[in-house]
Structure 1
């Protein structure tokens, strides 16, 4: 019996009680019944607080309501016992056969176990990383690459149509400074103020020069200075852009849309959006500038949209971009931004409201800093970038799987320290190794079973799964859909990683205390076959969970 099936069973018992006048309620009063794992395993397999939810409406107290419901539940096949606890909780213990049936359900689902439909028919635009094309992706962007892709996978697992989008900030002074930095390194000049340094600048500049030579173009240094800088801008941004794309692809992240900020301005979309807001009265003029009435929509202050010098402020592009996303069909726009962007939450929602969209259609997730530690000391600089640690530095040190898992394992609102020595180790103290090894172990058990001629299809008897470690493992497997649903609802991919570690622990304890293959001359029985179902079900859930984090599930380690 899956948690969903148990929820429906409890709801059916409530409706039957209403029909028999045990509960003074309308059928419309009965909600979807939620069941959760008790904090203490000895209290049972599942618990629900539905009696506490409905007692007042039924004109009774929670314990009396729960007692009546427990009497009905105790008569249902598959429920071994039900008892009232505390102020009105109901603890439920499933019969071994009902609990064990979950193993077959998971295997037959063939990777679909845990799927949901909470985002059915929704188009979700998830914008993440979005680094300026002026240098390699730093650790903050790397964290967003891991987290953003995991959230996208989770939303797709709950039936959303997800658009992964990368917003290239290729408009403004940072690009000017990037082009000037490329020119300066070739011309033998000092880097400009607010320019960029590091070996990668030399590398990109050299590539521009090689391209020019191979194409038979005029030597950039023989051109007028402004023309030469523009030459480096056009080619340097493209080369840096391609390098960023390649890095992300190697990291297992590919985007559906690469959106250029410059296109908002060159296409006139910024001007049209602002004209619309002026006409609607959402913008007003003061002190020679145009302001968005963002305080009307919960922002702490109104925002300058067109500065007194006539130039558009950065938020002007944000306004046009929100409109563009919605016009492309997005129902929900999710932004993953760095720790210095807290002010963007209110202003982006205000911009959406000013354009006539529901502010709830914009979500902003703020991520905190990532620090690397090696040999007990912080790692602060990249050999190539010079000033920051990059995605390539992290991947070179620990590999893609360890990097993605470590960056997805913590809540985004927490700063994290990544111990490179730990992540590179093949020990159980390394979380990604621990989970991947559990999956490899389950694959090894399946191979050994095949050598003994043990096949799942030859027999299954859920009632045989009576060992306490099997009850614990089945309970952990049953929790997977709930964990996924909460990860999707709260946009918290780290719940999946922490769950996988708990599942791996339950599996390892089961592996140590039971056997799928016979000992010595022992005959193969349905117990062995049924345990193979449980082994394979665990492997499937581990594999699904790792996939949702963008991490591989090796079959041998």
Structure 2
């Protein structure tokens, strides 16, 4: 249990004993250390109910709270804030918990094993993943990991857009380049897919099949579609695997059509009177749900729109038993959010069943200049190129170090720096440095030991332990509001407190008991750092 929750429970206990009505109140860390370890506004919240001044209420509560074993002292400040100063043994209990639970430290049960699906990236399988996809990839992956740590049953899913015109366009682009590498002159498509990778696919087909596939497009269309799609998906899967991202499920848009799910869902909406005909097309009444205009779901030529398959896909997710859907999209899809939520409402679900996280664009900089040209695509920098430039770990941390709803300038040189200004290096170096100290001590800390933790009493040591306690709070926060940048901020703060402690205090001293206590403290920091790095999908190196 978090220290703040423990204090909250003690306050509630006092309120019950005094037969005072239970209300919502806060227990928070004060901005200044002189105001204690925690502070509560309970007295101000009770003022109206009890018709007394907050300070009088605070003094009444203080008398009872001071009797609790957990507090060194309780003070009243300002208009009636109650400030709590914890006894050291209560704080040391956190370190004991870390050492006992190890890899499980930070894990929560608030999710109660509820089924959540996180769908992210879902880039068209028409080429390499680019840097923009990379940011959404890490945001989605870390949200999913945080939810798992919070006790939810999470499925990570990639939606393969393999049923649209873009697939035919890819197929035809590869077909034409294939003819070109066979020596024919071609007129390439105005809206065709460019980039060296299209030639790579074409050459691969030529090497395997020579000129065997050089026929009229319609007769080899299925072959080129299947081959090109498989090539692009393999490339995407390899890049994501190397980026530390593994999906539980790859869901094909095409399967919705093959199983007749799109038309079934449209029929369901029609029966609910949410679809009408106009100009030969079928329109969904999204204006009934706050959209600025109605949307076409079936065109006048009888083909369904992408929106129609998206509606069917989201209903399919819920029918698979997921009580919460989380979609991570690029910010350019902001206008689409209301439409998808409208479709869920029309189908009888709640718009709150779906949370959409919008991820803003990434601007790359190298040597202070915008860096935009890719050798592989002729356009966007690929995720693969970024990993080769700065490494997987730095890329992942940089992608989530700022709020995902703000544009991000990614400085490639900064991501490679070996200094405290590079958060990836700073956090990982703290872990590696602790490993080095523990290794040098030559004490087997995995064996149960009776550490004299009461010897831990320096300010820098106590701050480290209190910061470890905050891990659960950060995980809970991210699992509720999806603000993954808070994980990086927390990791930096914990690493910073470790570096401050290490620069001021010797760990390996002549006092064996103090040495062991401090090694136990560092082991606790190491465990906490590793656990949060794991949630961020970043390695915890033992040497750097």
TM-score greater than 0.5 by the shorter chain: yes
Q: 1:34: how far off?
A: 4.7
Q: Do 2:143 and 2:484's aligned partners in 1 also have CA atoms closer than 8 Å?
A: yes
Counterparts of 1:264 and 1:427, CA distance in 2: 50
Q: Is the 8 Å Cα contact of residues 146 and 475 (structure 2) preserved in structure 1?
A: yes
Deviation at 1:458, TM superposition (A): 4.1
- What is aligned with 1:197? 194
Distance 1:30 1:47 in 2: 17
User: Would you say the 8 A contact 1:97–1:461 is kept in 2?
Assistant: no
1:138-537 alignment, distance < 5 Å: 138-188=130-180, 189-213=186-210, 219-221=212-214, 223-450=215-442, 457-518=448-509, 522-525=510-513, 527-537=514-524
CA distance in 2 between counterparts of 1:529 and 1:454 reads 9
Report the secondary structure of 1:83's partner residue.
strand
CA 481–543 in structure 1, closer or farther in 2 if over 3 Å, else same:
same
Root-mean-square deviation over aligned CA pairs: 1.9
Q: Is the 8 A contact 2:373 2:379 kept in 1?
A: yes
Number of equivalenced pairs: 539
3-state SS of the aligned residue for 1:258? strand
SS at match of 1:125: strand
| Equivalent-residue separation in structure 1 for 2:504 and 2:229 (angstroms) | 59
1:88 aligns to 2:80 (yes or no): yes
Contact 1:456 1:529 in 2 (8 A): no
Q: Decide whether aligned partners of structure 1 residues 17 and 311 sit closer, same or farther in structure 2, where only a CA change above 3 A counts.
A: closer
Partner of 1:122: 114
Change beyond 3 A, Cα 1:126–1:531: same
2:540 matched to which residue of 1?
A: 553
Superposed CA deviations along residues 190-248 of structure 1, whole A, max 9, x for unmatched, are: 430211111111111112233335xxxx7111x12322344221211111111111111
SS in 2 for 1:300: coil
Aligned partner of residue 116 in structure 1, secondary structure: coil
TM-aligned CA deviation for residue 505 of structure 1: 0.5
* Cα gap change, 1:233 to 1:44, in 2 (>3 Å): same
CA contact (8 A) 1:292 1:305 kept: yes
* Aligned match for 1:12, one of 10, 13, 21: 10
The structural deviation recorded for 1:10 is: 4.0
Cα displacement (A) at 1:13 = 4.1
* Kept after mapping to 1: 8 A contact 2:8/2:27: no
Moved more, 105-114 or 151-160: 105-114
Partners of 1:76 and 1:15 lie apart in 2 by 11
- Once residues 59 and 255 of structure 2 are traced to their aligned partners in structure 1, the CA distance between those partners, rounded to angstroms, is 65
CA distance in 1, matches of 2:196, 2:162: 21
Question: Secondary structure at the residue paired with 2:245?
Answer: coil
Inter-partner Cα distance in structure 2 for 1:467 and 1:202: 64
Per the TM alignment, residue 405 of structure 1 is displaced from its structure 2 partner at its CA by 1.0
Q: In structure 1, what is the Cα distance between the partners aligned to 2:446 and 2:300? A: 76
1:63 matches 2:55: yes
For 2:183, the equivalent position in structure 1 comes to none
Aligned 8 A contact 2:14 2:61 in 1: no
The change in CA–CA distance for 1:13 and 1:367 in structure 2 (over 3 A counts) is closer
Q: Distance in 2 between matches of 1:531 and 1:353?
A: 56
User: How far does the alpha carbon of each residue in 1:338-392 deviate from its partner, in whole angstroms, 9 at most, with x for none?
Assistant: 1210012111111111111111111111110011111111110111111111100
1:454 to partner: Cα distance? 7.9
Within 1, Cα distance between the matches of 2:310 and 2:208?
A: 35
1:51 touches 1:65 (CA, 8 Å); kept in 2?
A: yes
Partner of 1:109: 101
How far apart are the structure 2 equivalents of 1:51 and 1:3?
Answer: 22
Task: Render the CA deviation track for 1:73-108: whole Å, top value 9, x for unaligned.
Answer: 222223112222233332211122222222111111
1:129 aligned counterpart, secondary structure: coil
**Gapped regions of structure 1 (runs ≥ 5):** none
Q: Distance in 2 between matches of 1:117 and 1:523?
A: 40
Structure 2 length-normalised TM: 0.95
Q: CA deviation at 1:17?
A: 4.3
Greater shift in the superposed pair: 529-538 or 147-156: 529-538
State the match for 1:46 in structure 2: 38
CA distance in 1, matches of 2:290, 2:110: 28
- The alpha carbon displacement at 1:11 in A equals 2.4
Q: Which sections of structure 2, spanning at least 5 residues, go unmatched? A: 181-185
Partners of 2:81 and 2:289 lie apart in 1 by 41
Is the 2:7–2:27 Cα contact (8 Å) retained in structure 1?
Answer: no
**CA distance 1:286–1:456, shift in 2 (3 Å):** same
2-side partners of 1:208 and 1:87: how far apart? 77
Per the alignment, do residues 440 and 224 of structure 1 end up closer, same or farther by CA in structure 2, a change over 3 Å counting? same
- 8 Å contact 2:284–2:296 — kept in the other structure? yes
CA distance in 1, matches of 2:309, 2:156: 19
**Distance apart, 1:50 and its partner CA:** 3.0
